[in-house]
Amino acid sequence: MSSSPAMNYMPPPDVDRAMPQPFPQAAPQIIIKESRHHSSSHRRHRRHSSSRPHHHSSTTLLQAPPPLLHFSSAPVVQVQKIHHSSSHNAFRMPSPAQFAAQVNHVPPQNGIAQAAQQLQEDFQYSRCTGRKKALCIGINYRGQPNELRGCINDARHVRDFLIRRYGYKGEDIVLLSDDSHDPRKIPTKRNILDAMKWLVRSARPDDSLFFHYSGHGGQTPDLDGDEVDGYDEVIYPLDFKQKGHITDDVMHDIMVKPLPKGCRLTGLFDCCHSGTVLDLPYIYSSSGRLKGSHISSKARKSKSTPADVISFSGCKDGQTSADTFAGGVAVGAMSHAFISSLSHNPKQSYQELLRSVRQILYPKYSQRPQLGSSHHINTNLRFII
């Protein structure tokens, strides 16, 4: 797979670009409005339309993954501090006073920037020099009506990228995919929730946790009033028909809230309707400015955290994310663009990475990748994992 961000995404000619049939729902209230589909002409957003799932290719062209950590038992992980002699250690984090000065340069937008300053006192950036753990999930929904193609490949590519480029260890990465022969490594709802809890267990300041999801995404009516648009974002486990979806509220409660001050969680979501799928209160434009509010003022305070939580998602909440092929391998456009951008240029700021990923996808795809955070960040700082 080429690492150049100029990779040309060329779907194969035999891909069926017709609109798929409505995606089966796990419960009457579920609304899956669109999905990751190849053709941009099929990605128009209709708030009350029936479901349309993503597409990824299930052809596995990589070697089988190594044995992974079993996470079903009680906490057994011994936290070890791993110090690297990389440029990360030389990277100076701004003091609270310096950070406040940087924040003051961001013009308030509907009071969001001012609220961010007030909530900033307890926040601390992670140096990412502690333990590194990752959870990579790829679901092709094999044998189901709206089967995807490249999600399993995405999960393996991200896992290999983290090991190769960022010093993650194979034994500290859990990979869930629906081609696994191990029942505990199949992406069922129970296994996904258990793996999320494993990811954040025993987390400490300066740890670097990474969560990657590639599969179906959708929306469902918001029941607690925290979403301005009235919809929660959701992901779909392999057994969603029997067990239901996983909402952004649940993911936030499991993976964001428990994290200590100064611990990093990086989320990478390659699915439809994923702009705010981790329920982070702040979203940024490619120029680094805070965007308009997507959650209520009351929810902004409860969703903020002293931990260093960042998310990159494949599209806005009202958009779909595309499947494509790169080098003859089925992949998700967002997963591939993220890996390609950082492989080509590892030293980028948050802003630069967001712009780079968008440029890789444009104009082939209309989806607009999003950057979110659990706190107000200086997007000119270098992005590290």
Q: pLDDT tens digits for 162-206?
A: 999 999 999 999 999 999 999 999 999 999 999 999 999 999 999
H/E run at residue 101: helix 96-104
Separation between Cα atoms, residue 53 and residue 140, nearest integer Å: 11
Q: Is residue 381 part of a domain?
A: no
Q: Is residue 17 part of a domain?
A: no
Separation between Cα atoms, residue 368 and residue 123, nearest integer Å: 28
DSSP string across 336-381: HHHHHHHHH-S--BHHHHHHHHHHHHTTT-----EEEESS---TTS
Q: Count of domains in the chain?
A: 1
Q: Is the peptide bond before 363 cis (omega within 30 degrees of 0)?
A: yes
Q: Is residue 314 part of a domain?
A: yes
Q: What are the residues whose beta carbons fall under 8 Å from the beta carbon of 14, sequence distance 6 or more?
A: none
Q: Is residue 10 part of a domain?
A: no
Confidence of residue 227 (pLDDT cuts 50, 70, 90): confident
Q: Is this structure's pTM higher than 0.95?
A: no
pLDDT of residue 151: 98
pLDDT of residue 292: 65
Q: Is residue 297 part of a domain?
A: yes
Q: Of 74-88, 227-241, 250-264, 287-301, which one has max mean pLDDT?
A: 250-264
- Residue 127 belongs to a domain with what CATH number? 3.40.50.12660
pLDDT of residue 13: 32
Q: Is residue 52 part of a domain?
A: yes
Side-chain half-sphere CA neighbours of 344 within 13 A: 18
Residue pLDDT, tens place only, 238-293: 999 999 999 999 999 999 999 999 999 999 999 999 999 999 999 999 888 888 66
Share of the chain above pLDDT 70, in %: 67
Residue pLDDT, tens place only, 307-349: 999 999 999 999 999 888 999 999 999 999 999 999 999 999 9
The per-type count for the chain, helices as H runs and strands as E runs, is: 10, 12
Q: Pick the closest to residue 187 from 216, 161, 209, 158 (CA basis).
A: 216
Among the ranges given (106-110, 141-145, 171-175, 357-361), the one the predictor scored with the smallest mean pLDDT: 106-110
Q: Is residue 234 part of a domain?
A: yes
Q: Is residue 203 part of a domain?
A: yes
Share of the chain above pLDDT 90, in %: 57
Side-chain half-sphere CA neighbours of 67 within 13 A: 1
Confidence of residue 226 (pLDDT cuts 50, 70, 90): confident
pLDDT of residue 114: 52
Q: What is the pLDDT of the chain when averaged over all its residues? A: 76
Contact between 268 and 215 (Cβ < 8 Å)? no
Separation between Cα atoms, residue 230 and residue 336, nearest integer Å: 31
Q: Which residues are catalytic?
A: 216, 272
Separation between Cα atoms, residue 38 and residue 20, nearest integer Å: 11
CA distances for 301 relative to 104, 119, 122, 221, 297, angstroms? 19, 7, 12, 22, 7
Domain that holds residue 133: 40-62+105-373
DSSP string across 29-91: T-B------S-GGG----TT-------------SPPPPP----SSS--PPP------SHHHHP
